[in-house]
């Protein structure tokens, strides 16, 4: 398709979630660092574990020294503090907290390496042919990559459950609600403030990946997904995502 859409992105895809039809793509199979879009896989495994009853939202998790030392975006927890699984999910989805992703990975699998193995198994199950995850948070690491198409398949899979949207649709939320000092989280997806049809999904940015976003929106019973990888900055990323969504509604709704 010859289109000015996503002209600054290294790769992009626009998908009709209802049908799986690809409405637009640019280098959709190119292997690129996905930054925090990696956390979509982490969250998919978390929600699957919840569905199986292996863990519950009320379970309490302690932050390990490994999680505490992780760099990048994070939510501060006190030493020896116990955090509920639900609060950790909020930290991952809303604040994109790397330490929360490590906490949940270790809690579910016992170690980061075992969780990465689970990520690989799930990637093969979903037939993500251009994906190789080496960590649960998406910080730059040689050999850690995905593609816009694989991220669309992954995003569509997690949207199916509906659980993710309860968290990703909120621009603001609180953790530690029952404590003396509740902590407010602000969503890294600023499009939630200005576009009511958008209710997710995940932002990303690292020095190597640049600005990335998997955004989903719904009008009537129609749901679409727009993904960009490798945008030069967050402002351009958001503008080009909105252009893609506008194109999708024109194509679907006429």
The residues assigned a catalytic role are: 36, 39, 96
Helix, coil or strand: residue 84: strand
Tell me: is residue 202 an annotated ligand-binding position. Answer: yes
Helix, coil or strand: residue 52: helix
Maximum Cα–Cα distance for the chain, whole Å? Answer: 56
Q: Which among 206, 201, 232 is positioned nearest to 216, based on CA atoms?
A: 201
Count helices and strands in the chain by DSSP H and E runs: 9, 9
Cα–Cα dist 88/99, whole Å: 9
Cα–Cα dist 215/3, whole Å: 20
The H or E element containing residue 59 is: none
Residue 191: exposure state from Cβ atoms within 10 A (0-12, 13-18, ≥19):
buried
Q: Using alpha carbons, list the distances in angstroms from residue 124 to 8, 121, 147, 153, 172.
A: 30, 5, 14, 12, 34
Binding residues: 202
Binding residues for substrate: 202
């Amino acid at each position: 398709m010859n289109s000015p859409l996503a002209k600054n992105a290294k790769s992009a895809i626009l998908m009709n979630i209802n049908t799986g039809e690809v409405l637009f793509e640019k280098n959709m199979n190119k292997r690129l660092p996905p930054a925090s879009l990696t956390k979509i896989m982490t969250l998919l495994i978390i929600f699957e574990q919840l569905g199986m009853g292996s863990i519950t939202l009320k379970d309490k998790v302690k932050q390990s020294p490994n999680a505490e030392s992780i760099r990048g975006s994070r939510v501060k927890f006190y030493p020896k503090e116990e955090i509920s699984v639900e609060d950790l999910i909020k930290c991952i989805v809303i604040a994109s907290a790397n330490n929360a992703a490590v906490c949940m990975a270790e809690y579910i699998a016992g170690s980061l390496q075992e969780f990465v193995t689970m990520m690989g198994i799930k990637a093969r199950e979903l037939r993500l042919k251009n994906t190789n995850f080496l960590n649960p948070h998406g910080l730059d690491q040689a050999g850690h990559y995905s593609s816009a198409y694989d991220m669309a398949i992954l995003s569509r899979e997690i949207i199916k459950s509906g659980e993710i949207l309860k968290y990703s649709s909120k621009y603001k939320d609180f953790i530690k609600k029952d404590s003396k000092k509740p902590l407010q989280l602000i969503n890294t997806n600023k499009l939630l403030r200005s576009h009511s049809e958008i209710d997710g999904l995940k932002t990303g940015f690292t020095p190597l990946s640049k600005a990335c976003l998997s955004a989903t929106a719904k009008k009537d019973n129609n749901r679409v997904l727009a993904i960009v990888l490798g945008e030069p900055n967050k402002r351009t990323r958001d503008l080009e995502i909105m252009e893609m969504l506008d194109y999708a509604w024109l194509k679907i709704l006429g």
